[in-house]
């Protein structure tokens, strides 16, 4: 498992001052470009969820980079994938929640019938920074009555204290940075 974690870690790049000055941007695109690293990432997430949350019924992915990892994980687990999108992208009745980002303001939305009350949902994104996005996604799932098992990310930026922001929901991260 440590070997797989290393494979993933080797495929994360840093870009200073993107998208705005002062932000050190962690870029996950090299993971996707390398099928071995991509498989290692999904292997690690699959092992964690099977061990800790075998009752999971849906993986809910966050727009947009949660869409890169969520469906692959959901297929491995044999469960469905639902989309938590930026506002204005989903047809039909939706619920939405506004939130503030490390570098901006936005609104997330989900279709009313994405999950049913009481269903066991696991949220996934590539990265947790301030936790504002994940917190909003949790609020959306709560509005639908979902039971949130955990929030899962590949990368946690510890110094931004996102884990505090998403409380009382819990966090699992593959890799942590200060």
Give the one residue of 26, 48, 53, 142 binding ligand HPA; rule: CB under 6 A.
26
DSSP string across 85-126: EETT---SSEEEEEEEETTEEEEEEEETTSS-TT-EEEEEEE
Which structure tokens are listed for 68?
């890169």
**Touching ligand HPA, residues 117-176 (CB under 6 A):** 127, 129
Coil, helix or strand at residue 16: strand
Q: What distance, in Å, lies between the first and last C-alpha atoms of the chain?
A: 22
Q: Is 109 in the site for ligand PRP (CB under 6 A)?
A: no
Q: Where does this chain touch ligand PRP (CB under 6 A) — which range of 49-57, 112-120, 128-136, 170-178?
A: 128-136
Give the one residue of 61, 74, 83, 102 binding ligand PRP; rule: CB under 6 A.
102
Which residue, 57 or 126, is less far from ligand PRP as judged by CB? Answer: 126
Residues forming the active site: 65, 102
Q: Which partner in ligand HPA, ligand PRP, none is near 25 (CB below 5 to 8 A by kind)?
A: ligand HPA
Q: Which partner in ligand HPA, ligand PRP, none is near 26 (CB below 5 to 8 A by kind)?
A: ligand HPA
**Please, what is the minimum distance in Å from the beta carbon of residue 23 to ligand PRP?**
10
- Axis crossing angle, helix 2-9 with helix 35-52, rounded to the nearest 10: 130
Give the one residue of 5, 25, 67, 172 binding ligand HPA; rule: CB under 6 A.
25
CA-to-CA dists, residue 115 to 52, 92, 108, angstroms: 21, 14, 16
**Angstrom distance (rounded) from CA 129 to CA 34:** 24
Which residue, 128 or 144, is less far from ligand PRP as judged by CB? Answer: 128
Residues 6+ apart with CB under 8 A from 99: 105, 106, 107, 108, 132, 133, 135, 136
Q: Is 101 in the site for ligand PRP (CB under 6 A)?
A: yes
Binding site for ligand PRP (CB under 6 A): 62-65, 101-102, 125-134, 162
């Amino acid at each position: 498992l440590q070997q797989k974690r290393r494979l993933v870690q080797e495929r994360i790049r840093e870009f200073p001052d993107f998208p705005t000055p002062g932000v050190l941007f962690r870029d996950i695109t090299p993971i996707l470009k390398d099928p071995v690293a991509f498989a290692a990432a999904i292997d690690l997430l699959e092992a964690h969820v099977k061990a800790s949350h075998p009752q999971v019924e849906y993986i809910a992915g966050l727009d947009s980079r949660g869409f890169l990892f969520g469906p692959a994980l959901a297929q491995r687990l044999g469960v469905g994938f639902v989309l938590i999108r930026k506002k204005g992208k989903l047809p039909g009745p939706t619920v939405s929640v506004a939130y503030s980002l490390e570098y901006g303001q936005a609104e997330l939305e989900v279709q009313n019938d994405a999950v049913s009350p009481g269903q066991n949902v696991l949220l996934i994104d590539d990265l947790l920074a301030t936790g504002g996005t994940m917190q909003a996604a949790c609020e959306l799932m709560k509005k639908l009555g979902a039971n949130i098992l955990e929030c899962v990310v590949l990368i946690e930026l510890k110094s931004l204290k996102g884990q505090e922001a998403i409380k009382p929901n819990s966090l699992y991260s593959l890799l942590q940075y200060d």
